Amino acid sequence: MNRWPALLLFSTLGLSAQTPEGYVQSVDAWHAAREARLMAEDGWLTLIGRDWLNQGENTLGSAPGSTVLLPEWAAPARAGLFVLEGTAVRFKPLPGGGLLLNGKPATETVLKSDADGTPDVFTAGRVKFYLIRRGTRLGVRVKDSENPARKAFHGVPRYPVDAAWRVEAEFIPYATPQTRAIPTVLGTTEPMTAPGLLKFKVGGREVTLEPMLEEGEHPELFIIFKDATSAHGTYPAGRFLYADMPKGGKVILDFNRAINPPCAFTLFATCPLPPRQNQLGFEVRAGEKEPEGH
């Protein structure tokens, strides 16, 4: 395993090993907000189920064998049906189901998924669930605000903040954005758009990473990467890093803000995995470490 001497790393990046207090405070504040989002009532720590739908009728309820299984204390044995017809899902409530849909008693309707922006949300007691779309698959994600994982959460361990891991990268755009088939923990691939390459130096060696484009109201670059700390202090499958869009052909990569994917906290997430071109042969001793107890 390659390990780059710290002083060489600092001098190569052209950043002082002495981290300014204001910078440390800004990263600490960012990480505190990140942990608060994990702990939120709709955060990843509340996830208790993810069930995939089949064409035709799919049962919903607390009865064993239900396609979408809810806790006994939250719903009757049979609460409703999800009817998958091609790429559309129609919900049929059953008598006595007691479900709310978007805050009102559930009625028969065609559902919006998370891929449509804001999904339709069901409520059964304190449990909430909604339709998700992953590629060609449709499923139901179930959350419980009282999930033991949420109650037992005591933060995410991380490396000390080190300004040497805040690097400036050159952005080299592709003539035409490329579509990449990114692997996922489900054993499937997800198409993502790669707008170009990020090039920077670590320990005197030139490094490239290929970011994906996260589109939306505020587009940003999304880097899925793995390094030599993976399974040796950090989450084995890799980590995520977000960065602002290029300005003047440059992008700031702050590895102090590298985070664990949702799959580090729950078995029911559908995370992308690092593509081969983003698997680094050296240690990135910055950002989040592997969570304890997950």
Average pLDDT, stretch 101-130? 96
Residues 99, 68: Cα–Cα separation, whole Å: 14
> Does residue 5 register a pLDDT over 60?
no
If you average pLDDT over residues 60-67, what whole number do you get?
Answer: 97
Predicted confidence band at 218 (pLDDT cuts at 50, 70, 90)? confident
Residue 12 — pLDDT band, cuts 50, 70, 90?
Answer: very low
Tokens at residue 50, please? Answer: 């993810």
For the stretch 118-131, pLDDT in tens is: 999 999 999 999 99
Reported confidence tier of residue 19, pLDDT bands at 50, 70, 90? low
End-to-end CA distance of the chain: 26
Decide if domain 45-144 falls under CATH 2.60.200.20: yes
Residue 191 has pLDDT above 80, yes or no: yes
Q: Check whether 14 has a pLDDT greater than 80.
A: no
Annotated domain spans of the chain: 6-41+155-278, 45-144
- For 91-100, b/e burial (b = at least 16 CB within 10 A) is bebbeebbbe
267: tokens are: 């078995």
The residues pairing with 234 across neighbouring beta strands, listed in sequence order, are 230
- pLDDT at position 17 is 43
Query: Mean pLDDT, the chain, as a whole number?
Result: 92
Q: Compute the average pLDDT of residues 245-269.
A: 97
What pLDDT is recorded for position 139? Answer: 97
Q: What are phi and psi of 149, to 5 degrees?
A: -60, -35
- Output 92-95 pairs: Cβ under 8 A, ≥24 positions apart: 94/61
At 35 the pLDDT is 97
Are 72 and 64 spatial neighbours (Cβ–Cβ below 8 Å)? no
Residues 89-102, mean pLDDT to the nearest whole number: 97
Q: Is the distance from CB of 82 to CB of 91 less than 8 angstroms?
A: yes
- The answer to whether the CB of 68 falls within 8 A of the CB of 44 is no
Long-range contacts of 106-113 (CB under 8 A, 24+ apart): 106/80, 111/82, 113/89, 113/138
User: Would you say residue 2 has pLDDT above 80?
Assistant: no
Q: What is the pLDDT of residue 20?
A: 81
Helix %, strand %, coil % for the chain, to 5? Answer: 15, 40, 45
pLDDT band at 203 (very low <50, low <70, confident <90, very high): confident
